[in-house]
Structures are given as structure tokens and as C-alpha cells.
A = this chain, B = another copy of it.
Amino acid sequence: MINPMDRGFTLGDGLFETMLVEDGQVRHLQAHLERLADGCAVISLPPPAPQAVQTAMDRALVEGGTGRRALRLTWTAGCGGRGLDRPGDPAPQLSVSCMPAPLPGLARLIIARTVRRNEHSQASQLKTLSYLDNVLAREEARAAGANEAVMLNTAGNLACAAAANLFWVREGRIFTPALDCGVLAGTARARLVAAHKVAVVIAGREALDGADAVFLTNSLSGVRTVESLDGRVFEPHPLVEALAAEL
């Protein structure tokens, strides 16, 4: 249980990682732990001790049962401090959960109109406990009969989806928005960019009008095919199918 004074609860002062577990193995664990450490540096938290993470993960994996699972690691600024001020001697808190992670199926996207990502905060590139804007974007998508939202940044450029990174294909080339557009630094995004020739761009929503295919990536889904965007239906695309099989 979580102390009601934990700053993760009271202020969203913390970070999390979500990792895919298959056959009892945590996929890309090292990349996730490195991202968490990078995020800690940005928001001035010490990273968790590797042994504490391992112990908590091992317990959660046993309790979580077998099959396809999502392992979530939550790292908060802990209790203490008056109001916004962190305590002088912080005591960060770790919690780990392991839950069933069914495959999400095809994505039906809208472009969120009610909320944008804040590229003027480094937190926009991190998986933080302050995720309400993402929740609101997702709610807008569901209210419109879709299941995921593309978020623009405050300059009106494409950023990422509420819980995934955004890619598109045009004339055989792969594109994705640059991190400093307020884009979550996704681990699956990083793997794809490292393994393939991807144009990392600053682009407005009109870039998607000219796309032959759109797809999402995240840790749980790998490459997720986009079936529709604001009602426009995409045909299956061989390049996206090849990436999905590979990633």
C-alpha cells in the first residue's frame, strides 16, 4: 500500500516504466532501467538501487502469474516536504506490479483537439506520474469511438500518441517526430530508429494526410498497426507488417 503523503500520489512526483513479460522474461530490461535512470537525472531524483529493483521485480513476477504480462515499476519522490518543496533528505519509494497484458489489436486514432503536449517541459519526454493530459487525450479518443489519440504539441506539430510513439510511411520512407517536439522517449521507438533508416522530423498534422501508412510503437505492443485516423481508413502496408514481425 502507498502512504497517502507519498509525493507520487499527492503531486505526481515520480516516474514509471512499463515492460513486457513473455515466458517469465522481462523484455529489454536494461533499456528500461537506463531510461529510468536518465529520467531521474532530469527530475533530480536518485535512481533506485539495482538490487532493490531486482528483488521487487522477482516478487512481482511470481505473484503476477504466467502468460503475457505488463511489469510496472513506479519510482516516486517518497514522503515529506511541505507543499511542493521536496524534503532535504528524500526517501524515494519503489513499487512494482505485474498484470495481464492482452494484445491491443488495431489502433483507431483521432488527433486530440482538447489537449496538447507541452514540449516546454522536459517531463514531456519522460514516463512521469503526472500523466493526466495523456488520460484526457485517451478519454477524448474513446468518446469519439476511437481507441488512441495522437497528440500535437503546443506549436501544433505532431508529437506522439497518449501511450505510444507515432510513425508514418510515405513512399517507402519511415518518419517519426523528434523528441524535442514533446515526444515520449520510447524504448521501442529507440530500437526502431537505431535499426532502420527513419527520418526524425518536425512536422505538422498535414504530414499524416500524405502518409501511405501510420503505426504506433510501445513496449507492450511493439509495432501496432493503425487502421484509421480521424475516420480515414488505411490499407495494410507490407513495410509495417514486416516491422511488426521484426519488433
- The residues of A with any CB-CB pair to B shorter than 8 Å are 1-13, 16, 43-44, 72, 74, 77, 82-86, 95, 97, 99, 102, 114-123, 128-136, 138-139, 142, 154-155, 162-163
Cβ contacts A to B, 17 pairs, < 8 Å: A1-B2, A9-B9, A13-B131, A13-B135, A82-B99, A83-B163, A84-B131, A84-B138, A84-B163, A85-B138, A86-B135, A115-B123, A117-B118, A123-B132, A123-B136, A128-B130, A130-B133
Docked pose: A12 CA to B3 CA in angstroms: 15
| Cβ–Cβ contact A9 & B129, under 8 A | yes
A8 — which chain B residues lie within 8 A by C-beta? 9
Contact of A136 among B3, B83, B121 (CB under 8 A): B121
**For the complex, what is the distance from the CA of A177 to the CA of B3, rounded to whole Å?**
36
- Cα distance A121–B115 in the bound complex, in angstroms: 5
Which residues from B are CB-within-8-Å of A2? 1-4, 6, 9
Bound complex: CA A115 to CA B77 (Å):
19
Contact A133 B123 (CB under 8 A): yes
Q: How far is the CB of A233 from chain B (nearest CB, A)?
A: 23
Closest residue of chain B to A148, judged by CB?
A: B84
The residues of B that contact A130 with a CB separation of less than 8 Å are: 12, 128-133
Inter-chain contact A129/B128, CB cutoff 8 Å: no
Q: What's the Cα separation between A7 and B129 when bound, in Å?
A: 9
Partner of A43, one of B16, B86, B134, B136: B136
Q: Which residues from chain B contact A132 at a C-beta distance below 8 Å?
A: 11-13, 43, 123, 128-130
Nearest opposing residue in chain B for A3, CB measure: B1
Please determine whether A4 and B134 come into contact, CB atoms closer than 8 angstroms. Answer: no
A147, closest chain B residue (CB)? B85
Q: Smallest CB–CB gap between A216 and chain B, Å?
A: 13
Q: Is there an interface contact between A4 and B154, defined as CB atoms closer than 8 Å? A: no
- B154 close to A133 (CB less than 8 A): no
Contact of A84 among B74, B118, B135 (CB under 8 A): B135
A155 surroundings in chain B (CB, below 8 A): 154
Pick the residue among B9, B117, B118 that contacts A6 (CB under 8 A). B9
Closest Cβ of chain B to A68, distance in Å, is 13
Residue in contact with A12 in the complex, picked from B117, B120, B131, CB distance below 8 Å? B131
A5: which B residues are within 8 A, CB to CB?
97
Q: Closest B residue to A12 by CB, please name it.
A: B12
Once the chains bind, are A154 and B120 in contact (CB under 8 Å)? yes
